[in-house]
């Protein structure tokens, strides 16, 4: 057996000093946690130079901002045209102006209806206070029937739902505290009016509400999932090791790892986000895996009759290489998340890698120090679990000729189902159906068609260029073309306003619902209309200040990433042929998520390849055998193939979180296969035949493999309880891969080794 390293011996000889240094390190690094702050807005998913983000910000600067809170009003009767509903719409519209940082409120109530009388153009609210009689309701119903800019936007096509849209002027920088304040205020209004009007349901939607949902979900995860995970891990360790002391020392190591990791994050300047709030969960789970290998081997050596110090020393020596290697590969896998296009996924990778390295150091120093101070565990002469593992090993050895072909068939079928997967990043679907925001989105989808929109900006490049009849004709053609597309539910077009003004100025004659014939006439109509508009209802949401650009807003179904980007490209191609002299830009948060999902998947392919190459080289060098290195590579790639195959059967939709799964899990699942191969290799070097070497590997590491997989599955399984689908999907996929890895390492790997070395069964030692 190898000699115990001097530093490990020192940790066992000076346990109190080691623990004191550990506590000091926790205090020093832990102070950094005070610098942590939380950001939950959607912008944390994008780099500052993200092209779609820059296009969206340009549009926000040219036109007024479009970030909003939306109130969806649904009467129980599903009929908006009734006195109580009109009264509610008017009152809530007035109160909505009090939402912090609101600068525009639009509804049926204050829609600026235009018509002509003997004095000229008249602009007035559709519903004023007290105008809830049947005659006025009938009048409103009649006059809005032909107005395309209103139907499908402020009232559903089936007249069952009314909408109040509140535009919010958010400042730059960290917006989360302000967003949460706005969200709380909006929820208060919702509760107030649902109480006052019990026959109505009110739902909250919009971009600001989505940002608020990001923040609330992340906070809920941090406050519930992390404590729950600690409880589950503690109970499981106690049950699996049958030792409360083992559970306690592991939790000390885990707690110290988390404190130091999050403290380093604070000193590093990394903020908490919907992704990084899961760092404690992941670090805890991975730290436990390191500790369990040492504790399980330590208890086995005690069971064999060794003294406490000798048993602990042998456990460290036997596991040192594997713990260092698996910690290194796990850290590398997470570091490859830096290939991701999403900053918070890079943060997740970096912090988890830091935690993995710290967990490795503490499990090899602080853990032995604490075990040295504790009395030797009392263990039974024969552990039932070990007996079951030996029986499993014997069964695999006896049936390896049948296991191998069945394994190949299952793996082949799984790989075929991988082809069912497709990229689909829909930001509003990041939330579970139990989430209030997601429920609002589903209601909006049912009655209004969805909340995914694309803003198209047409830039003429010259002041007052939009007044040119030729330009407006092309803008109007674009709006008509958009309305003809099957994905589009509603289009808000400035051309419709100009056409209505032209009709108004010709005594409301429908025959004149056309574009003005001259630039001067269009400019006069526009000036007259703008002078008649009240505060907060100007046209800056559709035209820029110098009248050189116009924005068209298309509301679409909640499309997947590929459909969204294809629609954008199709629109640009069509308009490019129609008006090559004009510049058309497309932008919106939904479009940003569609593009980032595709780019993230592409970049993570390279990240996964890099992780694969580096991890394979490390394993090959550690095993000093190209043959076993290739075997390990197979064993570590297969679980991901099975995982994505099962996902293809279950769902087939890959979001940005799942795009990092291969890189993230590859380093983790190396743990079991490397431990098994190292024990197998050690037995072969001792001149054991293949059968005895496989049996030895099962006997020495089989139980630890099962134990660590159960703990890993439980830890990451906690993420399944998250209402945030990026987290819950990650937890589910990771668990599928972990369980697949365990079956592959316990069934396929030994069977393959017996087939691979069948001609060397008796005498050949493993090549080094």
Task: Give the tens place of pLDDT for each residue, 326-338.
Answer: 889 889 988 988 9
Band of residue 234 on the pLDDT scale cut at 50, 70, 90: confident
Query: Which 3 state secondary structure label does DSSP give 123?
Result: strand
Nearest to 596 by CA among 418, 415, 430, 350: 430
Q: What is the pLDDT of residues 666-712, one digit of tens each?
A: 878 887 888 889 889 988 888 888 999 999 999 888 887 888 888 88
The per-residue pLDDT for range 100-147, each reduced to its tens digit, is 999 999 999 999 999 988 778 899 999 999 899 999 999 999 999 888
- Report the pLDDT value the prediction gives residue 760, as an integer from 0 to 100: 56
Residue 758 has pLDDT above 80, yes or no: no
| From 208-222, 369-383, 438-452, the region with the lowest mean pLDDT | 369-383
**What whole-number distance in Å separates Cα of residue 16 and Cα of residue 134?**
84
Q: Are strands 422-423 and 68-75 parallel, antiparallel or unpaired?
A: unpaired
pLDDT digits (tens, 9 = 90+) for 242-255: 778 888 898 899 99
What pLDDT does 767 receive? 41
Model's pTM, two decimal places?
Answer: 0.84
List 168's β-bridge partners, or say none: 102
The alpha carbon torsion through 489, 491, 492, 498 (nearest 10 deg) reads -140
Give SS3 for 491: strand
Query: For residue 196, what are its two tokens?
Result: 């006052």
- The H or E element containing residue 291 is helix 279-303
Reported as a single tens digit per residue, the pLDDT across 596-644 is 888 888 888 888 888 888 888 888 888 888 888 888 888 888 999 999 9
Distance CA 646, CA 650 (A): 6
Conformation bin of residue 552: beta by default, left when phi > 0, alpha when psi is -120 to 50: beta
DSSP string, 684-734: HHTT--HHHHHHHHHHHHHHHHHHHHHHHHHHHHGGGG-SBHHHHHHHHHH
């Amino acid at each position: 057996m190898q000699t115990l390293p001097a530093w490990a011996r020192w940790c066992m000889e000076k346990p109190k000093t080691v623990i004191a240094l550990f506590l000091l390190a926790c205090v020093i690094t832990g102070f950094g946690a005070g610098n942590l702050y939380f950001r939950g807005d959607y912008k944390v998913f994008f780099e500052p130079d993200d092209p779609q983000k820059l296009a969206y910000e340009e549009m926000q600067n040219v036109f007024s901002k479009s970030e909003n809170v939306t109130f969806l009003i649904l009467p129980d009767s599903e009929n908006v045209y009734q006195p109580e509903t009109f009264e509610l719409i008017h009152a809530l519209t007035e109160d909505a102006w009090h939402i912090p940082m609101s600068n525009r409120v639009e509804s049926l109530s204050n829609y600026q209806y235009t018509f002509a009388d003997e004095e000229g153009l008249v602009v007035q609210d559709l519903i004023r206070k007290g105008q809830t009689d049947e005659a006025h309701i009938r009048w409103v119903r009649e006059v809005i029937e032909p107005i395309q800019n209103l139907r499908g936007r402020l009232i559903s096509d089936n007249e069952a739902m009314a909408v109040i849209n509140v535009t919010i002027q958010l400042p730059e920088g960290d917006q989360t505290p302000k967003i949460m304040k706005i969200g709380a205020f909006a929820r208060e209004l919702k509760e107030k009016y649902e109480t006052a009007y019990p026959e109505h349901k009110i739902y909250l939607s919009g971009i600001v509400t989505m940002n608020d949902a990001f923040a609330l979900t992340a906070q809920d995860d941090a406050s519930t999932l992390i404590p729950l995970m600690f409880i589950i891990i503690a109970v499981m360790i106690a049950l699996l090791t049958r030792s409360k002391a083992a559970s306690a020392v592991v939790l000390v190591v885990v707690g110290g790892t988390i404190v130091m990791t999050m403290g380093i994050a604070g000193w590093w300047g990394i903020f908490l986000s919907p992704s990084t709030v899961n760092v404690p969960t992941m670090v805890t789970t991975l730290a436990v895996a390191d500790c369990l290998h040492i504790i399980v081997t330590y208890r086995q050596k005690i069971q064999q009759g060794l003294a406490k110090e000798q048993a602990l020393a042998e456990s460290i020596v036997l596991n040192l290489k594997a713990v260092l290697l698996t910690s290194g590969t796990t850290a590398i896998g997470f570091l490859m998340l830096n290939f991701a296009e999403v900053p918070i996924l890079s943060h997740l990778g970096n912090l988890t890698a830091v935690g993995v390295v710290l967990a490795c150091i503490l499990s090899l120093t602080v853990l032995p120090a604490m075990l040295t101070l504790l009395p030797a565990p009392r263990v039974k002469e024969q552990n039932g679990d070990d007996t079951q593992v030996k029986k499993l090993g014997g069964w695999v050895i006896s049936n390896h000729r049948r296991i191998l072909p069945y394994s190949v068939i299952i793996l082949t079928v799984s790989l075929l189902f991988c082809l069912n997967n497709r990229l689909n990043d829909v930001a509003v679907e990041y939330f579970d159906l139990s989430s209030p925001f997601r429920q609002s989105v589903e209601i909006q989808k049912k009655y209004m068609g969805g909340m995914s929109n694309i803003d198209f900006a047409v830039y003429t490049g010259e002041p007052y260029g939009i007044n040119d009849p030729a330009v407006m004709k092309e803008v109007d053609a674009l709006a008509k073309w958009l309305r003809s597309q099957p994905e589009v539910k509603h289009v808000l077009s400035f051309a419709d306003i100009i056409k209505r003004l032209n009709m108004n100025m010709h005594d409301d004659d429908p025959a004149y619902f056309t574009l003005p014939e001259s630039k001067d006439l269009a400019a006069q109509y526009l000036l007259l209309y703008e002078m008649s508009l009240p505060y907060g209802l100007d046209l800056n949401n559709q035209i820029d200040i110098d009248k050189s650009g116009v924005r068209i807003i298309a509301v679409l179904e909640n499309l997947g990433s590929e459909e969204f980007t294809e629609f954008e490209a199709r629109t640009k191609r069509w308009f490019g042929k129609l008006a090559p002299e004009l510049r058309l830009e497309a932008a919106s948060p939904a479009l940003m998520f569609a593009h980032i999902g595709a780019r993230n998947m592409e970049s993570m392919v390279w990240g996964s390849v890099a992780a694969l190459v580096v991890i394979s080289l490390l394993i090959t060098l550690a095993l000093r055998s190209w043959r076993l290195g290739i075997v390990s590579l197979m064993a570590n790639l297969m679980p991901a193939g099975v995982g994505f195959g099962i996902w293809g059967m279950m769902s087939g939709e890959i979001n940005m979180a799942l795009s990092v799964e291969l890189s993230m899990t590859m380093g983790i699942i190396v743990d079991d296969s490397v431990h098994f191969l190292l024990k197998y290799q050690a037995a072969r070097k001792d001149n054991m035949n293949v059968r005895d070497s496989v049996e030895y590997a099962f006997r020495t590491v089989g139980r630890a493999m099962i134990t660590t997989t159960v703990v890993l599955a439980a830890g990451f399984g906690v993420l399944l309880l998250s209402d945030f689908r990026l987290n819950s999907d990650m937890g589910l996929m990771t668990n599928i891969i972990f369980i697949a890895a365990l079956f592959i390492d316990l069934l396929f790997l030994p069977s393959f080794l017996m087939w691979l070395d069948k001609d060397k069964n008796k005498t050949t030692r493993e090549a080094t």
